Amino acid sequence: MRILLIVGNGFDLNLGLPTSYRHFYKYYLEHTESRNEHVNKLKSIIKDDIENWSDLELKLGEVTEQFTSPNHFIAAFRDLKKHLTAYLKTVNSVEIPNIDKISTQFADDIIGFKKNLDPKYKSTYNSFVQNISDKKITLDILTFNYTDTIENIADQLEAHPEYADKIVVENIYHIHQQLNELGIILGVNDENQIQNKSLSFHPDIKATMIKPYINSEYVSGTDKECKQAIDRANMVILFGVSLGATDRMWWNYLGEHVAAYSQRIIYCPYEEDTSALDMSEVIIRNNGLITRCANNMYLANNAYSAVTPRIYPIRANRMFNFGLTHNVEANHSKVIDWLTTKINATGTI
């Protein structure tokens, strides 16, 4: 069986890493300086409305409305991106405790994910999997994260021969690139998410912040490889992803493919409330999760109707619960200390 695991920021947070935009803002707004008026303008906008900046990429598209020149906006954007890269590179150096144990739990959660399904979805999954002859899992991973935590876990798993006949990690794709010389891809899904219409079709703005355009124009091949991974999967596990609008093309592509080819989606959202539920509450909760997932795929009516019975929710944060979230804030302080020490010593990041 071929499974595609799609992970977002929630995966790194579960490993105790301070990778939310909230964590980055504290560093960027309080510990970096610039003489550029456009950089400082963007910082001021974020600081004055920080509660509404949980989705950095969407807000960057909106804030273009407050810049009249593409060069002015690009200067501010590049400064933020430079510091986000430096911040995440430092996060990437944080040691994850018990990584060997985590690698086996990671594998066990994928191999045995069925145990986390509610009874209705266990039954429908059993019917679905009867038609798949090869029960060994070939795993592709598509990550929206810039860090290399997935690679570290996969490397550790290779040291466990007892898993060799159960699961193999075949490919890892970074859809928004990695923390290397090519630079991360940060921005919006399309021109419609750039509020300043005088800037939205400017070629330099497109090359700066329209993510699908950057992938296709640079011809990295990443977008093609990720689509092929979706195409060949029997099942797709979504974990730690917000299903946000700035990656709409991917959620739409996934939904349309599932509608056409009868794959299954295992949807694992983060839930604040994990208290016990009675049967009626479980039904209501699961229906709500399925609706949330399907709504964010922006499907036509026929495709929407085909997709919803093929989404199996896993409630109550049962997958990849590594027990490390208590480390997030301590690691956040550590990362900021490392960065500010470097800046004070060298004057640069």
pLDDT along the chain (349 residues), means of 10: 97 98 97 96 97 97 97 98 98 97 98 96 94 91 98 96 96 95 96 97 97 89 94 97 97 98 96 91 96 97 97 96 97 97 86
Nearest to 313 by CA among 111, 116, 106: 116
Query: Can you give the pLDDT at residue 86?
Result: 97
Q: What SS3 state is found at 145?
A: coil
Q: Which domains does the chain have, with CATH numbers?
A: 1-17+98-182+220-325 (3.40.50), 18-93+196-218 (no CATH)
Q: Which residues contact 212 (CB under 8 A, 6 or more apart)?
A: 189, 190, 223, 249
Element counts in the chain: helices (H) and strands (E): 15, 6
Query: Can you give the pLDDT at residue 135?
Result: 83
Strand ranges (E), 30-179: 137-143, 167-174
Query: Can you give the pLDDT at residue 276?
Result: 84
Tell me how crowded residue 293 is: count the other CB atoms within 10 A of its CB.
22
Query: Can you give the pLDDT at residue 230?
Result: 98
Determine the length of the chain. 349
Q: Whole-prediction pTM value?
A: 0.96
For residue 265, the cross-strand partners are 236, 311
For residue 139, the cross-strand partners are 3, 169
For residue 237, the cross-strand partners are 5, 266
Could you give the CA distance from residue 44 to residue 311 in angstroms, rounded to a whole number? 42
Query: Can you give the pLDDT at residue 52?
Result: 96
Q: What SS3 state is found at 182?
A: coil
